[in-house]
Chains A and B, each alone.
Chain A
Amino acid sequence: MAAEAGRDPRAWLAVDETAAAFLSRLLSSRPPITLPPPLHRSPLRPGNVVEIAGPSNSGKSHLLLMAAVQCILPKEWEGIYFGGLGRAVMYLDLDCRFDVLRLAQILRNRIAEGCRSAHLRNGDPENDGTKDEFQCSLENTLFSDCMQRFLYARCCNSPEFISALKTVKSQSRREVSSAGIYFVMIDRHSIGAFYWIDRGSQPARENKGRTLQSITESVVHELRKLLQLQPALVLVTKAPIYGEGTTTANDFNRVSSKYILADSTGLGYSRQEEERTLSNREYMPSIWQSFVTHRINLQVEEAEVPSVLESEVLPVHTSEWVQPYLKTKGKFSIMDDGVSLIQ
């Protein structure tokens, strides 16, 4: 290239494409995606890596399922508008906690809702909730179409994860005949799992070469390769890790903060928040941190185990975009078939 430039420097300065052309090309090949709330506040495009962090039971896997359903539903089908993307989703389950029945439930509810609203719009007074055979078979076809677009793989340890990433492209081409993967979801709630196992293996065998650093490097490398070939939106869940010594400290904090709560509620609350942010310390190696482009934190309002919870009151979850930083925190609660925003 340098030799060519030597011959004709002016060729170097020739315009490749104008900004308008660049933008239009980008928008067509990587269009912005709107995810269901609370992920909708930040514009996302394929090629972005979103990290959803939060303690256990804060709704991270639920968000992934919602986004998956959004992706596999078609935009429009038989005249009914669903607003989905109609593309394939690759779900890598590092946690082995995925329940396909839950996905099926959410999908069926969405399809039923869509069909119902379409009928209402068409003004069908005869269809008062009872579905006929044709309707059922229609819904079933759509359901199976959508489920075919959902690809799932489970990995039990880091080497499996890495080999899964390597073979995803070739395997998916066999399964999905259409455009290919659009979302990659990695459910690593207990990334802590691999973290501890890999950290544990560190001093045991020095020559093994499988340190946490190297594993993360290869994971990031594989993901980048995958994204180059197939631009996709990557959603990753992450749970905070509590260091070996900090659990007792946290307990102390919690105890003392409760006592302070009795005196002045303001101070107590801020102490609790502070302790929460303390526990969210970043434990992934820097190569992973630089790979992630967006971050969102989820929390549940109630911290303890409720012994008796009324059926009407649903726990409130908060979401907070850390990167890019948004000042407002969203509040939502999880229903059977989706997420409802509160505010």
Chain B
Amino acid sequence: MAAAGGGGGGGGRATTSGCGLKRRYAPHDQEEETMNQDQSSKEDWCGRLWNGMDLLKDVTENKHVLPTGLEGIDTLLGGGLRQGQLTEVTGPSSSGKTQVCLHSASHAAVKHMGVVMYLDTSNSFSPSRIATIIDGTNDLSDQRGFDLPHKERLKTMMRSIVCKSVFDIFGMFEVLHQLEVSLLNDKVKSGGRKICLLIVDSISSLLAPIIGGKYPQGTTLKPPSPPHRLYPGISRGRSMMISVAMILKKLAYKHNLSVLVTNHMVSAGNGAVKPALGESWKAVPHVRLVISREHGSNICTATVLKHTLLASGRTAKFVVPS
């Protein structure tokens, strides 16, 4: 990976390239390092030119749709959360965002679709709730179709949900980096359960504090020492946000993950509300949903803000069972 510090992954060796690379701008003493880095990125890069049919094949074969288990949302999304895409669920507080996340996690566990990684920023992950949801589903058979006793079933399903707490952006970078490394290592050995869904609840509580206008050039948010060598060049709030976004999308695409993030709402002046994280974030997710809940009821409404395939603006109601 060109971004992950120097010639890390596969670019240690110096190879001769067919076309003579010329560096216009690197000063001579840096030329060696940048040449290696450039070659390493070219090495990483070769063979990544896809054509349309290859892309289609990859999407239909590798990137499945993970249903969330909530019918209304699944119809809105055209089946569910697609692997390789980043889906954002936004809404005012206590509108059901965490419930959507918990439901998706449980559904993925019940249907044995793979391991779910749940990154929790506000201690909203509740194992008892997951157990309730799993108990509530009808179809509870083992992966191979055998019938296990109830407790065993619950255990194996809950074991496939991994929950990690992250409280700031640097912790997030660490976790993502570890995930990346472990996924790259997993590619070598076969078998085992692969991760299929990554949930970040909520990403806005990590990003919102750093992208506001309060962090000018000389930022007061000090990165932990030693300085972040994993992702160099990150020292500004908004660049961190975009870096996180790119890392998530890259993970989603390369390892066939579906990424679900939640966002909260801020006021847009004159009583209206809009999703947080501003304009720069608007371009990041593939699919954006807004959900809202009437006070004191179980019925939530979801609207599609943006979708790569389907028209936006459609609404659906779904019920969050209690």
Residues of A in contact with B (beta carbons under 8 Å apart): 55-57, 72, 95-97, 99-105, 144, 146-154, 156-157, 159-160, 162-164, 166-168, 170-172, 175-176, 189-190, 192-193, 196-201, 203-205, 207-210, 214, 217-218, 221, 239-242, 244-245, 247-248, 251-252, 254-255, 258-259, 304-309, 311, 336
Give the residues in chain A near B159, CB-CB below 8 Å.
none
Chain A proximity of B276: nearest CB distance (Å): 12
A-B contact pairs, 15 of them (CB 8 A): A55-B279, A100-B55, A156-B246, A156-B250, A157-B2, A167-B46, A168-B49, A190-B284, A199-B236, A207-B29, A218-B24, A244-B237, A255-B269, A304-B274, A311-B311
A53–B44 CA distance with the chains assembled, in angstroms: 31
A172–B269 CA distance with the chains assembled, in angstroms: 50
Give the residues in chain A near B34, CB-CB below 8 Å.
209
B52 contacts the other chain (CB 8 A)? yes
A100–B62 CA distance with the chains assembled, in angstroms: 13
A72–B51 CA distance with the chains assembled, in angstroms: 12
B46 touches A160 (CB 8 A): no
Decide: A247 near B213, CB < 8 A? Known: A196-B242, A304-B268: yes
Give the residues in chain A near B246, CB-CB below 8 Å.
96, 156-157, 193
A252–B243 CA distance with the chains assembled, in angstroms: 29
Chain B proximity of A202: nearest CB distance (Å): 9
* Tally of contacts, chain A with chain B, CB under 8 A: 210
Decide: A242 near B280, CB < 8 A? Known: A170-B18, A170-B19, A304-B268: yes
A305–B46 CA distance with the chains assembled, in angstroms: 41
B19 touches A100 (CB 8 A): no
A167 touches B19 (CB 8 A): yes
Give the residues in chain A near B275, CB-CB below 8 Å.
305
Give the residues in chain A near B59, CB-CB below 8 Å.
100-101
Give the residues in chain B near A305, CB-CB below 8 Å.
274-275, 290, 305
Chain A proximity of B176: nearest CB distance (Å): 13
Decide: A105 near B309, CB < 8 A? Known: A192-B280, A200-B236, A218-B24: yes
Chain A proximity of B227: nearest CB distance (Å): 8
Give the residues in chain B near A163, CB-CB below 8 Å.
38, 41-42, 45
A125–B5 CA distance with the chains assembled, in angstroms: 66
B283 touches A258 (CB 8 A): no
Chain A proximity of B85: nearest CB distance (Å): 8
B51 touches A248 (CB 8 A): no
A159 touches B52 (CB 8 A): no
A308's partner among B53, B242, B280, B303 (CB-CB below 8 A) is: B303
Residues of B in contact with A (beta carbons under 8 Å apart): 2-3, 18-19, 21, 24-27, 29-30, 34, 37-38, 41-42, 44-46, 48-53, 55-56, 59, 85, 213, 215-216, 232-240, 242-243, 245-246, 249-250, 253, 268-270, 272, 274-275, 278-280, 282-284, 286, 290, 292, 303, 305-306, 308-309, 311-315
A147–B60 CA distance with the chains assembled, in angstroms: 15
Residue of A nearest to B227 (CB): A204
A201's partner among B42, B233, B238 (CB-CB below 8 A) is: B233
A192's partner among B27, B237, B242, B274 (CB-CB below 8 A) is: B242
B270 touches A255 (CB 8 A): yes
Residue of A nearest to B272 (CB): A304
User: 13 other contacts beyond A57-B306, A207-B27, A247-B279, with CB at 8 A cut-off?
Assistant: A153-B48, A154-B253, A190-B242, A196-B239, A199-B236, A200-B236, A200-B240, A209-B27, A242-B278, A242-B279, A254-B270, A255-B270, A258-B270
Give 3 closest A-B pairs by Cβ, nearest first.
A147-B52, A201-B233, A309-B313
Give the residues in chain B near A95, CB-CB below 8 Å.
283
Give the residues in chain A near B284, CB-CB below 8 Å.
97, 190
Residue of B nearest to A104 (CB): B56
Give the residues in chain B near A307, CB-CB below 8 Å.
290, 292, 303
Chain A proximity of B66: nearest CB distance (Å): 16
B53 touches A148 (CB 8 A): yes
A259–B270 CA distance with the chains assembled, in angstroms: 8
A163–B1 CA distance with the chains assembled, in angstroms: 13
Residue of A nearest to B85 (CB): A99
A251–B279 CA distance with the chains assembled, in angstroms: 12
B313 touches A306 (CB 8 A): yes
A254 touches B268 (CB 8 A): yes
Decide: A102 near B49, CB < 8 A? Known: A192-B280, A199-B239, A209-B30: no
A254–B292 CA distance with the chains assembled, in angstroms: 24
Give the residues in chain B near A172, CB-CB below 8 Å.
49
A208–B279 CA distance with the chains assembled, in angstroms: 30
Give the residues in chain B near A100, CB-CB below 8 Å.
52, 55-56, 59
Chain A proximity of B207: nearest CB distance (Å): 13
B53's partner among A147, A162, A239 (CB-CB below 8 A) is: A147
Chain B proximity of A323: nearest CB distance (Å): 23
A164–B49 CA distance with the chains assembled, in angstroms: 9
A97 touches B2 (CB 8 A): no
B234 touches A56 (CB 8 A): no
Decide: A159 near B38, CB < 8 A? Known: A196-B239, A251-B269: yes
A308–B290 CA distance with the chains assembled, in angstroms: 11
A156–B245 CA distance with the chains assembled, in angstroms: 10
